[in-house]
Amino acid sequence: MNEFETIARLFLPLTRGEPGAFGLGDDAAVLSPRPGFDLVLTKDAIVAGVHFFPDDPPETIGAKLMRVNLSDLAAKGAVPRAFLLAAAFPPDAGPGWAPAFAAGIGADLEAFGGALIGGDTVSTRGPAFFSLTAIGEVPAGTMIRRRGARAGDLVCVSGTIGDAALHVARKLRGRAVRGEAHLAARYLKPEPRLALGQALRGIAHAACDISDGLVADLGHLCTQSGVRAVIEAGLVPLSPAAAASIAADPALVETVLTGGDDYELVFALPPEADVAALAAVTPVTVIGRFEPGQGVELRDPSGLPLQLTRTGWQHPVGRDEAGA
């Protein structure tokens, strides 16, 4: 399939009748925020060998592209509205690859809402690269910021932490884990916490999604808010697979706390907030408290500080992988 066949056959159906997409036949799209709403804009990219394994199923690569972006909208309390897709397809992909990738995106547009309104389709002699600009809506002035956590607030997280990072540790470093199928599913198709994020509007003082790692992303929230977080490692919610993996190899606790790829939410709730009411929508766990100061402190079950060798994922930019 050539470029324009790909746009017409694979991407046009994903516009789902959105008039501002102009049938993917114009230079640009038009989007009007509904009166009384703000548009919330975010962008994440994924690269073969960096964010996904080149032999991952193309449907789940499309889904993961959607979900890493939906996760940012979720963290801001936004409702998905529109997406712009940049796709540089792998040079050696078979004829079924792009249709399956597009089907993964289409299924998530159905599941989570919004429409494709534009993008760009290119070729590459390098690794496959995909990026979405995701556009969501919130009632004007209500986007949840990373800034706003206060001393005394509860540190909360959704879902379970560390599953995807354990999958990566198994695939890249040969680490022995338990519950491989569960860990793989969590890596391939993270759950964007859209309902929780929307429920947090007007309640949470601050929120961030966890892409780089729990400690790193909580650290970003602390920096923006000008507070410190003290969390108890023993309270961090784990799936049975992650708990069994750590029980067999305690060193994996660092992978869980700092490995990233969780796409769960970490957020600040005032102490009087009704955590149980939120937890009725999505699993929510209180893992610590915000205090005056800066940085993230982790405590082990005996209350002693837990030292980590890193806090999360960072891309090397303009230097080699060894960090020279």
Ligand X SMILES: Cc1ncc(C[n+]2csc(CCOP(=O)(O)O)c2C)c(N)n1
Ligand Y SMILES: Nc1ncnc2c1ncn2[C@@H]1O[C@H](COP(=O)(O)OP(=O)(O)OP(=O)(O)O)[C@@H](O)[C@H]1O
Contact between 254 and ligand Y (CB under 6 A)? no
Q: Collapsing DSSP states into helix, strand and coil, what is residue 285?
A: strand
Minimum distance between the CB of residue 206 and Mg ion, rounded to whole angstroms? 13
Task: Give 44 or 153: the residue with its C-beta nearer to Mg ion.
Answer: 44
Phi, psi angle pair for 40, to nearest 5°:
-115, 125
* Phi, psi (deg, nearest 5) at residue 14: -80, -5
Is 146 assigned to a binding site? yes
Rule CB under 5 A: choose which of 212, 232, 261, 264 binds Mg ion: 212
Which of 29, 37, 44, 161 is in the footprint of ligand Y by CB under 6 A? Answer: 44
Annotation-wise, does 55 bind a ligand? no
Q: Is 198 in the site for ligand Y (CB under 6 A)?
A: no
Q: How far is CA 115 from the centre of its chain?
A: 19
Does the protein bind Mg ion through residue 261 (CB under 5 A)? no
Near Mg ion by CB under 5 A: residue from 18, 44, 153, 261: 44
The residue among 74 and 298 lying less far from ligand Y, judged by its C-beta, is 74
* Tokens coding 1: 């399939």
d(CA 324, CA 317): 11
Q: Which of residues 141-170 bind ligand Y (CB under 6 A)?
A: none
- Distance from C-alpha of 167 to C-alpha of 64, rounded to nearest angstrom: 15
Residues 65-94: x where in contact with ligand Y by CB under 6 A, - otherwise, as a string: ---x---x----------------------
Sign of CA dihedral 152, 208, 156, 252: negative
Three-state secondary structure call for residue 301: coil
Q: Report d(CA 160, CA 129) in Å as an integer.
A: 28
Nearer to ligand Y, 153 or 212 (CB): 212
Examine residue 168 and tell whether it contacts ligand X (CB under 6 A): yes
Phi, psi of 294 (to 5 degrees): -145, 160
- Residues 292-311, interacting with ligand X (CB under 6 A): none
**247 makes contact with ligand X (CB under 6 A):** no
264 touching ligand Y, by CB under 6 A:
no
Distance of alpha carbon 188 from alpha carbon 62, whole angstroms: 10
238 lies in the binding site for ligand X (CB under 6 A): no
311 binds ligand Y (CB under 6 A): no
Torsion of CA 161, 195, 296, 217, to 10 degrees: 80
User: Cβ of residue 162: shortest distance to Mg ion, in angstroms?
Assistant: 16
Q: Is 153 in the site for Mg ion (CB under 5 A)?
A: no
Give the number of residues in contact with ligand Y, rule: CB under 6 A.
Answer: 5
Separation of alpha carbons 104 and 124, rounded Å: 21
- Phi and psi, residue 136, nearest 5°: -125, 180
What is the contact surface with ligand X in residues (CB under 6 A)?
44, 49-53, 168, 211-212, 260-261, 313, 315
